[in-house]
């Protein structure tokens, strides 16, 4: 099991201030994004989310980690992965171009990062500080 930290005060607001979303709320968020957990269980333990089981690919599992981790009130996600994901936390002033330069060596590859984070991202210009993004390894 790997453990990834998220900014608890950043992300989609699915519940009231200072509340931690329930497993049902997070499962609905994942489903609303069109992601299939393929039988994985989502549990909430305090402000930590645990994603276990299921028959997802590495890419699908990474997207589910981000879908539940980028929710306000979640501070970490624990999940089984077959390979160590490459994630990047957005800092103030970051753009996808700058992130692509830093992580992939070429800003023009920003579209690969955008595509790797769909459906969570709907516009390459709409990223925010504290958000965690998936950086594709096979790009």
What number of CA atoms fall less than 13 Å from residue 4's CA on the CB side? 27
The conformational region for residue 18 under phi > 0 = left, psi -120 to 50 = alpha, else beta, is left
pLDDT at 17: 67
Q: Across the chain, what does the average pLDDT equal?
A: 94
Sketch out the chain's domains with CATH numbers: 2-79 (no CATH), 87-134 (3.10.350)
Distance separating alpha carbons of residues 130 and 36, to the nearest angstrom: 25
pTM assigned to the model: 0.92
Stretch 36-61: mean pLDDT = 96
What number of CA atoms fall less than 13 Å from residue 116's CA on the CB side? 25
For 76-119, how does the pLDDT look when each residue is reduced to its tens digit (9 = 90+)? Answer: 999 998 889 999 999 999 999 999 999 999 999 999 999 999 99
Residue with tokens 């925010």: 128
pLDDT at 138: 63
Interacting residues of 71 by C-beta distance below 8 A, sequence separation 6+: 11, 12, 14, 21, 26, 29
Residue 139 pLDDT > 80: no
Strand, helix or coil for residue 56: coil
Could you count the other beta carbons within 10 Å of the beta carbon of residue 14?
17
DSSP assignment letter at 34: T
């Amino acid at each position: 099991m790997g453990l990834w930290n998220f900014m608890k005060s950043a992300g989609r607001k699915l519940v009231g201030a200072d509340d931690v979303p329930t497993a049902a709320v997070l499962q609905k968020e994942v489903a609303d994004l069109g992601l299939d957990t393929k039988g994985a269980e989502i549990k909430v333990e305090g402000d930590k989310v645990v994603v276990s089981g299921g028959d997802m690919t590495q890419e699908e599992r990474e997207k589910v980690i981000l879908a539940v981790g980028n929710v306000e009130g979640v501070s970490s996600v624990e999940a089984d992965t077959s390979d160590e994901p490459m994630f990047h936390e957005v800092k103030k002033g970051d753009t996808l171009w700058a992130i692509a330069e830093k992580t992939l060596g070429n800003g023009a590859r920003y579209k690969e990062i955008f595509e790797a984070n769909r459906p969570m991202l709907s516009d390459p210009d709409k990223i925010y500080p504290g958000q965690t993004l998936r950086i594709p390894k096979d790009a």
